[in-house]
Structure 1
């Protein structure tokens, strides 16, 4: 890595990480209204409504995301914290996939542990769980996060100005996840671009898988090639190449496409409140509460979905077997039955569990890594960029997107 040039092609980062660009159009990246007032009204009317989240939201279009489009199924959306939490807690009634998963059949997210349930999900998740515990976050920081953050800050610091979404936030997660896979920096954006076509991802990782089978190292692919899993009959076997490719596709997609938006949301919330930013700079014990509050107040992925496995009367609505239940966790995280003044960004509010990383058996595997990236990244900005502030002559950042939300450009001055 170098201290005199950006680590990544800035124009290509902007193309691949602009919520309003073509890469994000399918999930409503260009949606600009604030959906929260309408979601609050829907939440007040009933805990669960029939319809998809976008069909229930004025100004939204027929976008796709997890659990969509599934046009032949009835759709319902849960809005209250209690209803959303109940969906997450009952993974047998609300399944992560409509069909049984054969991880050896093909490589892709639909064959990965994200779509598995029950004992199968537990077996596969256990293979990589040790690398994603709170304690293991130190491995990620040492292995990739700290070096990436240091190099990015070293490039930005002499410039006295930056656009933090492109110059900083977008680069950290994609370089972190590709780094722990052993993928060279020059291929990091190729991985991001390849997410639209799983075969392109396989083309990148297949040589690395073959090499690690011959000579394992200290990276995630080495963990996967050495992992052993028992099938339903108790027979133990090493993971096949398709199984490893599915893991890679899932982890690379999640690792490169989520935390950058949440980091941008957090930075924007702080920069728009200079007194809060100053308090966090002065007392770094407030940084983690600030990140948690941003996760509650504006989660980057405000909806996920589950498939209903039997007829059920759920929070006042009859939901038939085969329906899709959408979890409007963005609305749930602002439920006034759980939080006072839920629409305010308040880093001093008492900490309660939130749904931003999901819940139940499928709670986000990488949540501790995401927190480590944000703490390390934002902390480095506060350490190295004195008098960090929004550029008063530039368009101020705002929050956009529907099924994936984030900030627009974050132009800042410092020094």
Structure 2
């Protein structure tokens, strides 16, 4: 793996939260939405309307469950109500309609496990879930994460300064997930750019890799998918088709290269803006896990997940008709004072409680343990190799921005060189 192939200007373009790539999700939103979300939650758990409309954004935005102008929309802001919806997939489905996968149709690549439910979802998820269990975190760390992290730091360790958000945080998940697929590093950014614009281009990159792994499996994720077997309703055991592998790959690429970098940048921002907390973490690395979990609670990078209502329901005082889209504002739920004391305060010493940052229920984030591994290895390495790490006082400080994809702007830092 050689980071010299990474075009840093192109990385900045693709990962700029306020750039054109993220504008459709509200990347230019720079206000603090939490006071409004607090007010909405205190009024009632469920409101008619979308999260961004209720927050004061009038222009249409796109995200999971949006825009769907022909459907009624409702937004949920309390922890209890969001958690209940996550755990009731029969009523709050992850797809606007039932998904029947027909590998022969060639249309599978337009769907994913996110759209499946029930037995089908459990069956497909079970094929790859072992690779993402906490017990396999070291497989990811040793094969891809550690190498990517160290090589990235090698690129600026002698400079005494760096911009950590794009030059470090953004690159780690891209290199990790594409590396696990056996994709050459020079094509990593091609895949990132194509994710929302040209999925066929990604399939064209993956096709020869899949074919090669069928001939000779290696120790990577595509080989896991190639060798995975599932049993259909008739009891026949068969391996995944190429189309099914492409579907898994597109889902994992989208999830693996999009959210973790923003969450890592937010964690670094929270620590760098609190030098006393950063010093404690530097001195006692066992506190890093608490810092990461607190950031997931305090500022999840995906503040909303959507679900489609399959039947008429009265939900926390709100009548919601069948066919509506319900938006679960997990960011507001993660600061619910009914569950956490002083919820707006960033406190790494608070008692640990589960949050909704990765969702809950059957569709809880498959890659959450890999994401935690990337953040843990990355931040530990920065603290190990960059003594005196601190924000650059002469540069514009990082700000947390975005509506449906929240994260930090540039994180300019200084550090001591040997």
Instruction: Report the TM-score range of the alignment, normalised by the length of the smaller protein.
Output: over 0.9
Match of 2:157 in 1: 157
Match of 1:393 in 2: 394
Match of 1:74 in 2: 72
Match of 2:234 in 1: 233
- Is residue 109–residue 246 contact of structure 2 (8 Å, CA) maintained in 1? no
1:47 aligns with 2:48: no
Match of 1:16 in 2: 14
Q: Distance in 1 between matches of 2:176 and 2:37?
A: 34
TM-score by length of 2: 0.97
Shift of 1:7: 5.3
Runs of 4+ that moved beyond 6 A: none
Q: Distance in 2 between matches of 1:361 and 1:243?
A: 20
Write out per-residue CA displacement over residues 105-128 of structure 1, whole angstroms, 9 at most, x where no aligned residue.
445675111110000000000000
1:303 aligns with 2:304: yes
Count of residue pairs brought into register by the alignment: 413
Q: Matched residue of 1:305: which SS?
A: strand
Cα 1:270/1:153, change in 2 over 3 Å: same
Q: Distance in 1 between matches of 2:287 and 2:357?
A: 19
Q: Distance in 2 between matches of 1:125 and 1:363?
A: 11
Cα 1:291/1:60, change in 2 over 3 Å: farther
Match of 1:131 in 2: 131
- Is residue 290–residue 348 contact of structure 2 (8 Å, CA) maintained in 1? yes
TM-score by length of 1: 0.97
Q: Distance in 1 between matches of 2:110 and 2:354?
A: 28
Match of 2:84 in 1: 86
Shift of 1:156: 1.6
Write out per-residue CA displacement over residues 359-413 of structure 1, whole angstroms, 9 at most, x where no aligned residue.
0000000000000000000000001101100000000000011100000000000
Deviates more, 1:71-80 or 1:355-364: 71-80
1:181 aligns with 2:186: no
Q: How does 1:5-404 map to 2 (within 5 A)?
A: 6=4, 8-59=6-57, 61-103=59-101, 104=103, 105-106=105-106, 110-196=110-196, 197-404=198-405
Cα 1:51/1:106, change in 2 over 3 Å: farther
Cα 1:73/1:318, change in 2 over 3 Å: same
Q: Matched residue of 2:223: which SS?
A: helix
Structure 2, gaps ≥5 residues long: none
Write out per-residue CA displacement over residues 4-54 of structure 1, whole angstroms, 9 at most, x where no aligned residue.
x65521101001000111111111111111111101100011000011111
Q: Distance in 2 between matches of 1:106 and 1:26?
A: 29
- Is residue 11–residue 189 contact of structure 2 (8 Å, CA) maintained in 1? yes
- Is residue 271–residue 389 contact of structure 1 (8 Å, CA) maintained in 2? yes
Q: Matched residue of 1:412: which SS?
A: strand
- Is residue 109–residue 244 contact of structure 2 (8 Å, CA) maintained in 1? no
- Is residue 36–residue 55 contact of structure 2 (8 Å, CA) maintained in 1? yes
Structure 1, gaps ≥5 residues long: none
Q: Matched residue of 2:67: which SS?
A: coil
Compute the RMSD of aligned alpha carbons: 1.2
Cα 1:149/1:246, change in 2 over 3 Å: same
